[in-house]
Structure 1
């Protein structure tokens, strides 16, 4: 999911405002699932628009339920959610990503997941973990994504390479060969700085065995594994294999089409964009798992569905979420949106089972790592963004950048 910036002071102020408001709020008596009622649902971006159509299908099969879907832009999603929480007016059901989960669970506005209805074993481990806060599940996985390697197979062949790189050594060699023998301007694109650089860095950090904080919430971004990842990432820029600077919001697809950027890491939506925007690339590109160091491990993303603690329609909300997250609902959602199913049963038939490229995403998702659901996680990762930038721009050594990031993160997680 996309992330909205926020500060600890804002979160603290919101918590205070919510506490004052919530004291006087009451959801009243709860309505049984089979009673006539209106269910309010907020969903973000393209998902919000597509969910309107799904809601209409659900209403046909459940005429007692009216599903009122409100599409919300990602640019205002966080603002609208915190305002609704403060006013005690959260929707019955909301789409929520892992970077929001810790904050809203801490505010006390989310209903814990009914684990008798929703079984953790039905979902990718990392997908389920994105909805957990301190061992309690608050979100049911709706869809997932992860990062894999996109590469130009035709240019690789020109460079004398016939298969995707399996490890860091192979990735570095392939980037060099593409630049030297296939006339690519760059060997690979890796975001050098700016907001969310951490998302480009995660495959290196996790594959090296590193983390930002450990399971106890202690910062470990200066561990030997993390330092190794900083060095490896920075060396691509230092050696001229990846660009030192790119414009905010830079999209590598145009340069992927021309061959100037023959490799980059990204998520499943890129496959659809390539097919739609650059049909001439058909048969000239492929995806591959993240090249391994200690392991081949990428980041886990996606969204979960949550229920408001104050909702008087919890039973109906649970049934609607069940409809969206069982294998049948997940397959339908994939066909409508290309969002990857969080329910693993949906991957056993049809295109999801038969497509080699989709199976690469499935394999990567099986080992992907989810971010900790800390209330101020975006602030924490902003320190890693800065650390990566200091390394790629030659302002600090990997060791010094890691130490500084750890010190700054320590003050945020005390």
Structure 2
């Protein structure tokens, strides 16, 4: 998912409203799943456009249920959800990314997941964890994503390398060889600054054993492991291996195709973008797990499906979510959207088991790490974005930059 912009005032306003109006929760007047009824569903971005077709198929098999899907753009999703929650008008089912889960769980507007109906063992661990807040599960994983390393195999051969890099040293050595021996402009594309730079940094941070906030809720972004990760990340810019002035909206796919950029950290959607947009390099690129320091650990992303605590259609909502997240539903959703299934059983047939690119994503997801479900996680990662920019632009050492972020994040955690 993309992280939508949010404002502190909107969250505070919603919290104030809930203090007065939402403490009572559902009235308990629920309609059974077998009765005639209409389910309201909000789905974001491309998923919102595709889910309507799935809903039509579901309605044919369940004629008593009308599923009304409302597509919502990620750019306005948070604002609309906050406003709907404050007014007591959340849809029966809402798609939520991991960065939303802590906030809306804290507001008390989400129904806990029935863990007898939905089994944690059916899903990737990191996908399931995105729906957990303080030991309670509020979201069922719908789809997942993670980051892996994309690299040009033909240019690597020109550089004298015939295998994917598996360690930090091998990746940096390959980046330098691409420039010196294959004549590329850059060695690796990683984001130097701006909103959500942290998403590129996660693979370095987690592979070094670092975190932003630990399991006890303590800020640890200035730990030796985190400092080591940022030093490694910033070294690509210091050595001229990565571009430190990337513009917003930069299209790495184009530069990967023309050879200016031979490596980048990307998500599963890049497979389709490359296949469709860069046919000239077909067979000349591959994906690999992110190179390791202590481990090879990437970030976990994706979305979960939640049920409103005030919904009068919880049994039907639960049944529809079950349809979307079981083996068959997940395989169908992948065919429609190319979103990676969160249910691991869906990976055992078809393209998901035959495509070597997808096999790398599956392997990476098994060790991927999800972010903590904190209400102000976006504010916290904004501080890390700023620290990364200071280090990549040479305005502060990694230790100094993360030290500043540490004190600011500590303040946010005390709120």
> What is the TM-score with the length of structure 2 in the denominator?
0.98
Tell me which residue corresponds to 1:4: 4
> Which deviations, in whole Å up to 9, do the C-alpha atoms of 1:358-391 show, x marking residues without a partner?
0100000000000000000000000000000000
Aligned to 1:136: 136
Q: CA deviation at 1:8?
A: 4.0
In the alignment, the residues of structure 1 paired with residue 115 and residue 96 of structure 2 have an alpha-carbon distance, to the nearest angstrom, of 18
Runs of 4+ in 1 over 4 A off after TM superposition: 23-28
Q: TM-score scaled by structure 1?
A: 0.98
Tell me how far 1:7 sits from its aligned partner: 4.1
Shift of 1:402: 1.1
Whole-angstrom distance in 1 between the partners of 2:326 and 2:16: 37
Q: Measure, in 2, the Cα distance between the counterparts of 1:229 and 1:296.
A: 13
Aligned pair 1:101/2:139, yes or no? no
Partners of 1:118 and 1:24 in 2: CA distance = 26
CA contact (8 A) 2:155 2:182 kept: yes
Structure 1 distance, partners of 2:268, 2:206, is 19
SS in structure 2 at match of 1:43: strand
Tell me the distance in 1 between the aligned counterparts of 2:279 and 2:258. Answer: 13
Q: Is it true that 1:337 corresponds to 2:361 in the alignment?
A: no
Give 2:34's aligned residue: 34
For 1:114 and 1:60, how far apart are their aligned partners in 2? Answer: 26
- The residue that corresponds to 1:54 in the other structure is 54
**Closer, same or farther: CA 307–26 of 1 in aligned 2, 3 Å:** closer
Contact 1:194 1:385 (8 Å CA) reproduced: yes
**Superposition deviation, residue 23 in structure 1:** 6.0
Partner of 2:185: 185
Cross-structure match for 1:389:
389
CA distance in 1, matches of 2:202, 2:99: 15
SS of 1:89's equivalent?
coil
Distance 2:209 2:292 in 1: 10
Tell me how far 1:280 sits from its aligned partner. Answer: 1.4
Partner of 1:283: 283
Question: Partner residue of 2:17?
Answer: 17
The CA RMSD over aligned residues, in Å, is 1.1
Once the two structures are superposed, residues 45-84 of structure 1 have per-residue CA deviations (whole angstroms, 9 ceiling, x without a partner) of: 1000100000000000000000000000111100110000
Is the 8 Å Cα contact of residues 10 and 79 (structure 2) preserved in structure 1?
Answer: no
> What is aligned with 1:367?
367
Q: Which runs of 5+ in 2 are unaligned?
A: none
Q: Is the contact between residue 113 and residue 137 of structure 2 (CA under 8 Å) also seen in structure 1?
A: yes
**1:7 & 1:410 partners in 2: Cα distance?**
20
CA gap of 1:238–1:85, structure 2 versus 1, over 3 A, is same
Say if 1:6 and 1:379, in contact at 8 Å, map to a contact too: no
Indicate if the aligned counterparts of 1:7 and 1:376 stay in contact, CA closer than 8 A.
Answer: no
- Of 233-242 and 14-23, deviating more is 14-23
SS at match of 1:367: coil
1:105–1:23 Cα change, 3 Å: closer
Distance, in Å, in 1 between the alignment partners of 2:157 and 2:182 is: 9
Residue matched to 2:243: 243
| Conserved 8 A contact 2:145-2:340 | yes
Tell me, yes or no, if the aligned pair for 1:25 and 1:88 is still in contact at 8 Å: no
- Unpaired runs of 5+ residues, structure 1, are none
Q: 1:311 is matched with which residue?
A: 311
Whether the 8 Å contact between 1:275 and 1:282 is mirrored in structure 2 is yes
